[in-house]
Structure 1
Amino acid sequence: MKLDHYTLRTRKPEETVRFYTEYLGLKEGWRPPFNFPGHWLYIGDVPTVHIITITDDEKALRDYVGERKDGPGSGSIDHIAFRCVGLAEYQDRLAGFGLKFRERVVPALEQHQLFIVDPNGVHIELVFNAAESTGIKGDEMPQSKMKAEANAAE
């Protein structure tokens, strides 16, 4: 039906909260009173990004979620994508913070894609309608074969 949430385990909770709130515009909100530290970040009224703080004593966390390997990434996950509006504002916001980002327009999908990496090495894709695109302001990414094929068909 829809993505409910994803959870990040991190030893960089402050950097991670800052990344998602300041750079992407999520809002920190209510979180149940778990016996381990963390944060919930919201898109509107949906707690979409759950952050669990990795500490040296994780007994309460292990009791609740089970044993996990400490380290970045989740194996097969390549990236997480958010559908967005306000492309120019995001480009300017990220550039204003001095964040490097990559982007491309994919005409066959009618999308302008913007890619950044969070403090934990998780790749984030921001997807905008291509009608919002007025050009690339970050590092331009190679176009997919779809663009070459679309141009050849014209």
Structure 2
Amino acid sequence: MTVHYLDHFTLRTEHVDATVSFYRDALGLEEGWRPAFPFPGSWLYSAGRPLLHIASLQGSAAQLETYLGVRAAGDGSGALDHIALRCNDLESHRQRLHTLGVPFTERVVPELFEHQLFVEDPNGIRVELIFAYPAA
């Protein structure tokens, strides 16, 4: 059971275009493909990997909340929706969380078929554990 690396971070924002422009123009990330999620947003890539997921707070709030859950809109660090860690051994992670009594939710990403477990840290920060699917 191993956590390999930080996979991505997700921002919720009403300022999608400005956020994309900043991370693209000021930091050099590249806009790229994004799965067909039921809410608008954008993915920005570094070295061929999607590093930043942007979820729009405009337009389809109900669809965003249904998929990602309800979160208070915020600025600064309050705009951070979750961090994602790339892992292996889904069953060991599930068992560890069950043993510790840590609640989690899970699902599979459309089109990518990656398995996700979501937990919340003691500070209210959502952490996504992401596994290849089918998880081995």
* TM superposition score category, shorter chain reference: 0.5 to 0.7
Q: CA deviation at 1:50?
A: 0.5
1:66 and 2:76 matched: no
> Does structure 1 retain, via aligned residues, the 8 Å contact 2:40–2:56?
yes
1:30 and 2:40 matched: no
Aligned partner of 1:5 in structure 2 is: 8
Q: CA deviation at 1:57?
A: 3.8
Question: Greater RCO between the two (CA within 8 Å, min separation 6)?
Answer: 2
Give the alignment of 1:1-154 within 5 angstroms.
1-74=4-77
Specify the structure having the higher radius of gyration (Cα).
1
More strand by share: 2
Q: CA deviation at 1:19?
A: 0.4
Distance in 2 (CA, whole Å) between partners of 1:24 and 1:2 is 20
Paired residues, number: 76
Q: CA deviation at 1:3?
A: 1.1
Q: CA deviation at 1:74?
A: 3.9
TM-score (norm 1): 0.46
Q: Can you give the 5+ residue segments of structure 1 that lack an aligned partner in the other structure?
A: 78-154
Distance in 2 (CA, whole Å) between partners of 1:41 and 1:24 is 11
- CA RMSD of superposed structures (Å): 1.6
**SS of corresponding position for 1:9:** strand
> Does structure 1 retain, via aligned residues, the 8 Å contact 2:16–2:54?
yes
What CA deviation, in whole Å up to 9, does each residue of 1:26-62 have, x standing for no partner? Answer: 0000000111000000001110000011115411111
Distance in 1 (CA, whole Å) between partners of 2:60 and 2:51 is 26
Q: Percent identity?
A: 49
